Amino acid sequence: MGKDKLRRFAENLTFACFVQPEFETVFRNDHPLKGRWNADFFRNDRPIVLELGCGKGEYTVALAERNPDKNFIGIDIKGARMWRGAKTVTEQGMANAGFLRTRIEFIESFFAPSEIAEIWITFPDPQLKTRRAKKRLTGPLFLEHYARMLGPDGLIHLKTDSKHLYNYTQAVIDRYGLKRIAAVDDIYGTGYADERLSVKTAYETMFLERGLPITYTQFALNGRTEFPWFDWEGDDTDEKDNEAERR
């Protein structure tokens, strides 16, 4: 491991905004902050918004800056990347943003029922191969996690360059009768207006330079809590998507 990564890992431990539990403390166990984020971490009662797979935390930081009436938590497993966002939050003295280093599969160990108001999923790995469909962050396995954390009016946002993941998410919404609020297959090409979408991550900038359209989906679970597995027909034809271009 390079010296720069080691330095960042060490500095992460000094940031008050950075939560990094040991694996053993959350694997099949609840973290002490579960149900206590407002009281013990943010020390206010504002709605909590998650960014899953936050990377460097560009979206977490930008949304927190623009929405002081809400609290934001960026979640990822890559500590060296998250360092950038945590350092910015620390240097700017932002009280409504934090970072949690963990696997997204473990998020129920950290958040209690109805503790979360919104979830943002920004440019996740689309898991293009059919055999990796269970890892898609808008798939049924993850929706069941979200359903147990989101409040009754909770929202899910997906911003991605992957046509495959965009189309898959539309199929998921239809399959389970979820509430589709927005489905835009090219936010810049269509002129779709939503100030929150103007934030451009490093990944998004790269994709735009390659001429890839950026899509946006916003939906709600509509009170549904169970999501039986289904195989999507689109996996048979769209599997390759922009795989060679994306990563």
Task: Supply the residues annotated as catalytic.
Answer: 125
For residues 203, 128, 195, 44, the Cα torsion angle rounded to the nearest 10 degrees is: -90
Amino acid at 231: D
HEC string for 200-230: CCHHHHHHHHCCCCCEEEEEECCCCCCCCCC
CB-based contact 175:137 (threshold 8 Å) = no
In this structure, the number of other CB atoms found within 10 A of the CB of residue 186 comes to 15
CA–CA dist 76, 58 (Å, integer): 12
Write the DSSP assignment of 118-152 as a string of letters: EEEEES-----SGGGGGG-TTSHHHHHHHHTTEEE
